[in-house]
Each structure stands twice: as C-alpha cells, then as structure tokens.
Amino acid sequence: MRASYTFSGRWEVSAPVPAVHDALVDLEHYPDWWPQVVAVASLGPDDARVLCRSRLPYMLDLVLHAVDRSPRRLEVAVSGDLDGWVRFDLAPTAGGTRLDLAQEVSVSGPLALASYTARPVLRWNHHRMMAGFVAGLEAWLRR
C-alpha cells in the first residue's frame, strides 16, 4: 500500500541567492536552524541521512541524494520513510530571494494507511515543518 503527496510553496527571505544557496546545501547545519530537523549525518559527498519530526509524534528517517546543486536550483532524491524528490528554485527579488518548493513523495506502511483518513492532518504537519524551515532559515541568514 502506498500513498502519494505533492507539495509546493513559495516564500521570500531577506538574503541574497548565494547566501540562501550556501545555507541549503549545508545539510549538516540544518539542526542548528531548522527546528524540525533532529539530526543529519553525512553519508558521502552527495548523500546524507536526515531525521526529522514535525508536530505529529513520528520521526521520519530519510536519505537524501543530491541531484542538482546549480546556483539557482537545489534538488534531492529522497528515500527511506519517503520516496521521491524535493526541489527548490531560487530567484533574486528586490528584498532578497524567492524560494519555490516542489516536492513529490510517496509513503508506504503505517503512513500510507493513515493517509486514507488523516491526509489533511499529515498535510498540516508538513505545512508546520515548512513554517519552521522558513522562520529558521530567515533567522540563520540574519546571524
């Protein structure tokens, strides 16, 4: 049993594209600024294991593999508790950088089963995680 999710979002942070790019490719520091990222372990130059937990009482264990690290696009393949991909497109704005998120993932097991009745709650949980992302990134970039 599998369930699929598609997420998107658009945010602006008050820092230039290169600074935002540098923060996003530096996964090992995510726990320092992204409250929902509990731990990150490097698995090599293009791979990392990431443990994250948002508001609901479950931990996601993910492996991220870098697909694209170009100056205006960051994309990773995701495996583990989620399978799919996540991409950020970065664009300069008058006030800093616009981040456009595109994410397509699928889940299996208990999360897939929960998706049949709790999909709105799981989407809310993702929304909370991304709110932590934006607030944390903005604060990290101001330091």
- Residues 96 and 14: beta-carbon distance below 8 Å: yes
Q: What is the mean pLDDT of residues 61-71?
A: 98
Q: What is the mean pLDDT of residues 18-39?
A: 98
C-alpha–C-alpha distance, residues 93 and 102, integer Å: 19
C-alpha–C-alpha distance, residues 65 and 62, integer Å: 10
pLDDT tops 90 at residue 1: no
- Residues 17 and 91: beta-carbon distance below 8 Å: yes
* pLDDT grade for 140, boundaries at 50, 70 and 90: very high
* pLDDT grade for 47, boundaries at 50, 70 and 90: very high
Residue among 116, 54, 56, 59 nearest 82 (CA) = 59
pLDDT in tens, 68-121: 999 999 999 999 999 999 999 999 999 999 999 999 999 999 889 999 999 999
- The tokens describing 62, both together, are 């993910």
Q: What percent of the chain has pLDDT over 70?
A: 100
Global pTM? Answer: 0.94
Residue among 70, 63, 67 nearest 21 (CA) = 70
Q: What percent of the chain has pLDDT over 90?
A: 97
Residue among 74, 17, 20 nearest 48 (CA) = 74
By CB atoms closer than 10 A (0-12, 13-18, 19+), residue 131 is middle
- The tokens describing 45, both together, are 């130059």
pLDDT tops 90 at residue 126: yes
DSSP letter assigned to residue 82: S
- The tokens describing 106, both together, are 């699928």
- Residues 42 and 115: beta-carbon distance below 8 Å: no
3 state DSSP class of 132: helix
